[in-house]
Amino acid sequence: MDIIELLVQKNILSAEKAKEVQDEVKKSSKRAEEVVLGEKLIDEELLFSLKSEALGIPLKTPDVGEVSLKVLELVPEDSAKYYHMVPLFHAGNTLEIGMVYPEDLNAQEALKFLARQGSFSYKAFLIRLSTFENLMKQYRSLKEEMKEALRELEKEIEAEGVQIREGKGVGLQRLVQEAPVTKMVAVILRTAVEGNASDIHIEPAKENVRVRFRFLGELHSSLVLPLRVQQAIVARIKILSSLRIDEMRIPQDGRFSAPVEGRMIDFRVSTFPTALGEKVAIRVLDPATGLKGLDELGLEGANLAKVKAAAQRPYGLILATGPTGSGKTTTLYAILQLLNREGLNIVSLEDPIEYLVAGVNQSQVRPEIGYDFASGLRQILRQDPNIIMVGEVRDKETASLVIHAALTGHIVLSTLHTNNAQGVIPRLVDMGIDTYLIPSTLSVAMSQRLVRRLCEECKEKVVAQKPMQQLIEQELALASLQVKKQAEGLRGKGKEFFVYKARGCKKCASSGYSGRIAIFEVLSMTPELSEIVLNKVSENAIAKEAKRQGMASMRQDGILKALDGLTTLEEIVRVSDEP
């Protein structure tokens, strides 16, 4: 198959332009695909879609994090680079391999030879040139550094002998200070930071140690290490976090900071004993990406105005709700930054402290020694605060103290676990708060979820398919007049709604997404809502008042963001819990 002839047949290239491309191919020794993409004569996705159709080979676009180091080692790097092919997934005796030029007879012969040598069968897929380049770039340095560190570390382990395997004696303590394990841990941390991972999971299995990174909310296996290095790696992380390396029976929590790529990154560490050894979870806390302004989070329009109005009041309670990992604390930090100024005393109680904020007095609670949210809050009230942040309202005592603090002239920020903003008031009542206290203290309740943000470079505007059109229409039928007007403004001139698709490009490592954004619902305390609370708390009555306020539900807010090209409808359906 000649790709240039195919593009001429499809009326994408003129005969004259095709001749120019062929001349450039001969002159430069480049492939035709490289020339037409380099001169931007065709979109890469369209080019490889046409090629996939012509060859009858399925096109695959794997995430960089999906391809493990162990799988990559099945094809030598020199061969992968020369023939533009890279292993993607290995199951049983079958290797899935991605090829940029599967029609190349030399590449086919090389693959057959490798399959015979490695005693595996294979299934070929077409991959884009950018996918191949991203995979090679992501893993080249990681492979080299990790293999070198592994060789050195195994030599050290062999020298220390049985003391290391039993996890005792001075041998383990000396080993974790040596260069090989230090280098290995540094490579894992740097890979996470460079790839914008939010978490690192180091998990022992029966035969090996799996290292997984969480990218955009999803875990991907990236490294598989020998089981014998597990104790040394865990011990090194424990030493960095000031944890006990000889205590393996109970969970431990700690944190440390390290310079990565010229900036200081915080890492929050949690160890957990399992039947196969200690598991380590590390949260990557990069102040450059974690501390954001309110408008960067996804709060906009009426929602942003409600939150800012509540923050500008002289006192009152601002509550953020949502499941673990939904960005509640990030939202509270954004509000703190809005309020943070020289003339105010801001004090926080956190478990744990996520980011260090200049100008804020942050305190870590320690329930094991009796310093919990309730006892800490009593002490804070003696510190002459203007603004108080409490990590979470977990029990009746904390709820009562938070309400009391807001009632006595403080701005109080905290989080609560409810499914939506409308559930905040019933939840406070369930925790024993008198209904007459809620209207005078609660300023705003907001609920949120995180969705992946579309890559601005490659997102594609398309007409929503019929099921999605119906979903949009159904949600808007239930929405307030304000939400309907906003949606109509995004509809355009036609009757159909347009949405956006994730395509994938070099900038987003072929994922189609870049970062995350939150969808919100924000409920303000109004005279009408106060009356509902004082008479009889009813979720139905609260829902009617929310609609009267013009509040968008999280799904409706998500639909507006999808129509505006910030995310996809599929993401909204995935994270919103509405029927």
Over residues 512-541, the pLDDT tens digits come to 888 889 999 999 999 999 999 998 888 888
**Which residues contact residue 531 at a Cβ distance below 8 angstroms, ignoring those fewer than 6 apart?**
none
Q: Considering the domain delimited by 132-286, tell me its CATH architecture.
A: 2-Layer Sandwich (3.30)
Distance CA 504, CA 513 (A): 7
Candidate from 166-180, 253-267, 454-468 with smallest mean pLDDT: 166-180
CA dist 325 to 18, 102, 465, Å? 52, 42, 31
Q: Spell out the domain ranges in the chain.
A: 3-129, 132-286, 291-575
User: What one-character DSSP code corresponds to residue 264?
Assistant: E
Distance CA 149, CA 223 (A): 13
Structure tokens at 496: 């159909």
CA dihedral sign of residues 427, 433, 434, 435: negative
Residue 573, pLDDT above cutoff 50: yes
Q: At what angle do helices 179-194 and 230-240 cross, to 10 degrees?
A: 70
The reported pLDDT for the residue numbered 342 is: 87
The phi and psi torsions of 257 (rounded to 5 degrees) equal -120, 145
CA atoms within 13 Å, Cβ hemisphere of 519: 29
* pLDDT band per the 50, 70, 90 thresholds, residue 162: very low
CB 6 within 8 A of CB 51: yes
Structure tokens at 2: 């000649």
Task: Supply the pTM of this predicted model.
Answer: 0.68
CATH code at 291-575: 3.40.50.300
CB 166 within 8 A of CB 193: no
Q: What is the pLDDT of residues 339-393, one digit of tens each?
A: 998 889 999 999 888 888 888 999 998 888 889 889 999 999 899 999 999 989 9
Mean of the per-residue pLDDT values of the chain: 84
75: closest CA among 83, 84, 87, 63?
Answer: 87
Structure tokens at 109: 């012969």
Structure tokens at 240: 């960095």
Q: What is the pLDDT of residues 121-158, one digit of tens each?
A: 888 899 988 888 877 765 555 556 666 666 666 666 55
Q: What is the pLDDT of residues 259-303, one digit of tens each?
A: 887 788 889 999 999 999 999 999 998 877 767 888 889 898 899
Distance CA 36, CA 17 (A): 10
70: closest CA among 91, 85, 84?
Answer: 91
Distance CA 194, CA 136 (A): 15
The reported pLDDT for the residue numbered 537 is: 80
**Strands 346-350 and 387-390, bridge-based pairing:** parallel
Q: What is the pLDDT of residues 193-249, one digit of tens each?
A: 877 888 999 999 888 888 888 887 778 776 788 888 888 889 889 988 989 988 889
- Helix and strand counts by DSSP (H, E) for the chain: 26, 18
Coil vs helix vs strand at 526: coil
Distance CA 391, CA 376 (A): 11
Coil vs helix vs strand at 383: coil
